[in-house]
Amino acid sequence: MIAEKHLNWLISAVLLAVPVAAWLAGEVYTVTLATRVAVLALAGVGLNLALGSGGLVSLGHAAFFGAGGYAMGILASHAQSYQPLMEWPFLIEGTKSMPVIWLVAIASGAISALAIGVLSLRTSGVYFIMITLAFGQMFYYFAISWPAYGGEDGLSIYVRNGFPGLDTLQPIQFFALCYALLIVALVLCARINASPFGLALNAVRQSAQRVETVGLSPLRLRLTAFVLSGAITALAGALFADLNRFVSPTMFSWQTSGEIMVFVILGGVGRLYGPVIGAAVFIMLEHWLGGVSEYWQLFLGVLLLGVVLFARGGLIGVFARRRVGHG
Amino acid sequence: MADPVLELKDVCKSFGALKASDHVSLDLRAGEIHALIGPNGAGKSTLIAQIAGSLAPDSGSIHFDGQDVTHLGPSARARLGLARSFQISAVVPGFTVAQNILLAVQARAGRSYTMWSKADDMASDQVARWADMVGLSDRLGAAASDIAHGERRRLEIAMALAMRPKAFVLDEPMAGMGTEGVSAMTSLLDPLRLQAPILLVEHDMQAVFALADRVSVLVYGRIIATGTVAQIRRDPLVRQAYLGDEA
């Protein structure tokens, strides 16, 4: 057993060291795998804010992941075809600039989460799961039936978007960007969890009635967390699209929502680094076992079952104790 | 005389054919402890739920601090200064004693949406003060789920105090306590009326008679009598309906 803080440092260091070593050894594919881990972990970090801290079991986070992906896809496709998004009443052109794309992705994730949250946070339990799932599927079918942006076939972006001062086509440089954003999101979540808002949100998860009694609105607290959560997951979506240089409706599918939730549950619900270790294990299993058998998810299922049954704190919980109380 | 802090006028609430609140009029004045007593099933909990805002009355009005709050929800009423405790202790089980009090302190300070500063730093002196008032100073670090029943009740009082309320509504704060616990809680509640008046729902008659300035008796959803302790003890209707030999 080691302190959770030290375990977190260790995970951060390994996730940085492995791709750097692989890059020095010329193993580009490993760098790409590590980038996938960082990006999917970021999506999980977003979900963990709603699921772990707020207790909101959302099976619709693919909606935000996809919203971020399509924000990137739409802006970049207009930039590569030199067609403005709109000319009237004012001109909006496409862009290949990552910072701009990230901001648009974050905004579209936040707005989608606000709309979905307002409508679904009045329910709880299994109804909340079903409503978020339904919204996710709505986005999915909308993307399929929208021919302007590829419909079912999706959108290909031929050149990766740019970041000032970096060559993003260099795998290690793109990894550095994704890793930096993941760390920023983790620091942000750590601060939020330790803040007055984090305390109130944690209290809502345990006893909404108690929170109401001190004069706070559980709905407003949950909605705030849900919007932040959606924004972070959308940023991950934009990075995922850039990693693959491809966007498709699959990003919106309920399987995607399920995978993001698997990262969180596998690593440890409500544990800061849960989604990081969860995404890492998922990608490693997919890579190694996927080469052995196309039924590799059977092993994932067994692992997940073991974690759910025997390790309530997920993989993080197996290695690190949790302190009493909040934070 | 000043307006009452809390005033119920002709509040009615029915569940099907059952009249849980039948034209209830009741007030709570500054500086008093007003006890609400009645047999099981008299509609005390239904009335408390309507006062707190978790249940809407069918008709009638509820005024609090000079404002019509009949249609406000529980969190809005709490923000106006109505602090309540529950029949079954409602504290955040996974939090420490200090964190529970902090939740109320930061809600009162309007800081519950602050995301960048640390929660623990902001109000430890206030947390210590409220804990001290209810005698939980040496239990600040204990998990709320681990402390004794009587301590949990006192924690609820500390959280109510931290809201600096204009009125307390306490639903059976002595429930499940031994004689010693009841007398400790009695001496804790006694001076509280000077901070804000208390509407006290309680089954323990010794405590009620020791604390209450006025008593209202609720039977089958109706207030059958309101008066001082002495008046209520003499009232033949009350003796017949509720008190029996105990008075």
For residue range B105-149, list pLDDT tens digits in order: 999 999 899 998 888 766 789 999 999 999 999 999 999 999 999
Cβ–Cβ gap B84/A209 under 8 Å: no
- Exposure string of A213-229, with b = 16+ CB inside 10 Å and e = fewer, is bbbbbbbebbbbbbbbb
pLDDT at position B30 over 60: yes
User: CB–CB of B93 and A224 under 8 A?
Assistant: no
Average pLDDT over residues B35-39: 92
Cβ contact, residue pair B113, A197, below 8 Å: yes
Query: Within an 8 Å CB–CB cutoff, is residue A323 touching chain B?
Result: no
Encode chain A (327 residues) as per-residue pLDDT tens digits.
688 899 999 999 999 999 999 999 999 999 999 999 999 999 999 999 999 999 999 999 999 999 999 999 999 999 998 888 888 788 888 999 999 999 999 999 999 999 999 999 999 889 999 999 999 999 999 999 998 898 999 999 999 999 999 999 999 999 999 999 999 999 999 999 999 999 999 999 999 999 999 999 999 999 999 999 999 999 999 999 999 999 999 999 999 999 999 999 999 999 999 999 999 999 999 999 888 888 888 888 999 999 889 888 899 988 887 655 555
Residues B65-100: tens digit of each pLDDT: 999 999 999 999 999 999 998 887 789 999 999 999
DSSP secondary structure letter of residue A320: B
Report d(CA B183, CA B189) in Å as an integer: 10
pLDDT, position B124: 86
Q: Which two tokens stand for residue A25?
A: 């050894």
Q: Taking Cα atoms as reference points, which of A221, A190, A188, A186 lies closest to residue A203?
A: A221
CATH number for the region A4-319 comes to: 1.10.3470
pLDDT at residue A291, rounded to an integer: 83
Q: Can you list the alpha helix ranges (DSSP code H) found in chain A?
A: 4-24, 28-48, 62-81, 98-120, 125-144, 171-194, 196-206, 208-213, 218-244, 254-267, 274-292, 297-310, 314-319
* DSSP β-bridge partners for residue A176: none
ipTM for the whole complex: 0.89
Given a cut of 60, is residue B246 above it in pLDDT? no
Residue B245 pLDDT greater than 70, yes or no: no
- Residues 146-205, chain A: which have Cβ within 8 Å of B? 191-192, 194-200, 202-203
Distance from CA of A39 to the nearest CA of B (A): 24
pLDDT at position B247 is: 47
Nearest residue in B to A228, CA atom: B115
The CATH topology of domain B1-81+165-247 is Rossmann fold (3.40.50)
Does the beta-carbon distance from B95 to A327 stay under 8 Å? no
pTM: 0.93
Axis-axis angle for helices A125-144, A98-120 (nearest 10): 130
Residue-range domain boundaries for chain A: 4-319
Query: Count of A–B CB contacts within 8 Å?
Result: 110
Determine the residue of chain B that is closest to A193 in CA distance.
Answer: B115
Contacts of B111 in chain A (CB under 8 A): 196
pLDDT at A107: 98
Domain ranges of chain B: 1-81+165-247, 93-164
pLDDT, position A106:
98
Give dist(CA B227, CA B217) in Å, integer. 9
Residue in B closest to A204 by C-alpha: B92
Between residues 198 and 257 of chain A, which touch chain B (CB distance below 8 Å)?
A: 198-200, 202-203, 206-207, 209-218, 221, 224
Using an 8 Å CB-CB cutoff, list residues of chain B that contact chain A. Answer: 52, 54, 73-76, 78-79, 83-84, 86, 90-96, 99, 102-104, 106-108, 111-120, 122, 141, 143, 159, 162-163
The sheet that has B214-219: what strands, in order across it? B82-85, B167-171, B198-201, B33-37, B214-219, B222-227
